[in-house]
Amino acid sequence: MAAEEPEIAAKNIPDTATTNAKPPAINPTKPYAIAGEYFAELVKEKTNGEVEIQVFPSSQLGNQRDLIEGLIFGTLDLTLTSTAVLGNFLPKIAIFDLPFLFRDVKHAYKALDSIGMEIGKELEPKGIKLLAFFENGVRHLTNNVRPVRAPEDMKGLKIRVMEQKIYIEMMKALGANPTPMAFGELFTALQQGTVDGQENPVSHIWTKRFFEVQKY
C-alpha cells in the first residue's frame, strides 16, 4: 500500500483557554472541510458556547507553511496541515510520507496513533501541540502521456510534487522528473503542459477538477 497523506490537527499552546480558533487552508467542499465545520459545532456544543471555532477554508489565511508559522507565532490557534509540509519544521515526521510504508489502512492508523503521536510531542517546544492524525486518502497518479501500470511507465514523466525532499527523491527513484510546485499553480501547469502529471488523493483530484486536464 502506498503511504497515505495524513493530515495533522495542530494547536498552539496558549497560557489561557482558546476562544477563537481558525482552521485551515481547505476547500469548503472537501470532506475534511465539512468535518472541520462539524468539529466546530461539536466544540461549541460541548463547551456550552464558551469556545467558538471559526473555519476559514480555501487558503484564506495563507498556504500550509503560513498556517504552521501562524501557530508558532501565535497568530493562529488551530490548523490542519500535511505531514509533508510539517516535515519542514520537524523532519522526522515526514517519515509517514514514504511510499509503501503501510500494509493497509488499519496498519496506518495504528502507526500514526502510536509512533506518530510520540514523534508529534517534539513539536511542543515550538509552541505546537499535535491533537490527532486523520487520513486524507491514499495518493493517486494522473498524467497526460500514458497509462501508468508499472514503475517503468514513470520514466521521463514530469510530475508535480510538493516542495519536500521525500516526494522529490521518490519520483527520481521511480524514473520520473519531479517538479516542485505550489498546489495553487497545478491546474494551469497541467493545462499548459508545464508538467505531465501529478499525484494526490481523489478528493483533491475531484474538487480541483484535474480530470478536465488529464487523460490517464
* Secondary-structure class of domain 139-212 per CATH: alpha beta
Domain with CATH 3.40.190.10 in the chain: 139-212
Q: 93-145 pLDDT, tens per residue?
A: 988 988 888 998 899 999 999 999 999 999 999 889 999 988 777 789 999 99
- Whole-Å CA distances, 91 to 95, 139, 200: 8, 21, 21
| Backbone phi, psi, residue 14, to 5° | -90, 170
Q: What is the model's pTM?
A: 0.73
Confidence of residue 211 (pLDDT cuts 50, 70, 90): very high
- 3-state secondary structure string across the chain: CCCEEEEEEEEECCCCCCCEECCCCCCCCCHHHHHHHHHHHHHHHHCCCCCEECCCCCCCCCCHHHHHHHHHHCCCCEEEEEHHHHCCCCHHHHHHHCCCCCCCHHHHHHHHHHHHHHHHHHHHHHCEEEEEEEEEEECEEEECCCCCCCHHHHCCCEEEECCCHHHHHHHHHCCCEEEECCHHHHHHHHHHCCCCEEEECHHHHHHCCHHHCCCC
Least confident of 26-35, 36-45, 185-194: 26-35
Q: 142-166 pLDDT, tens per residue?
A: 999 999 999 999 999 999 998 888 8
Q: Which of 146-150's residues contact partners 24+ apart within 8 Å by CB, and which partners?
A: 146/216, 147/216, 148/216
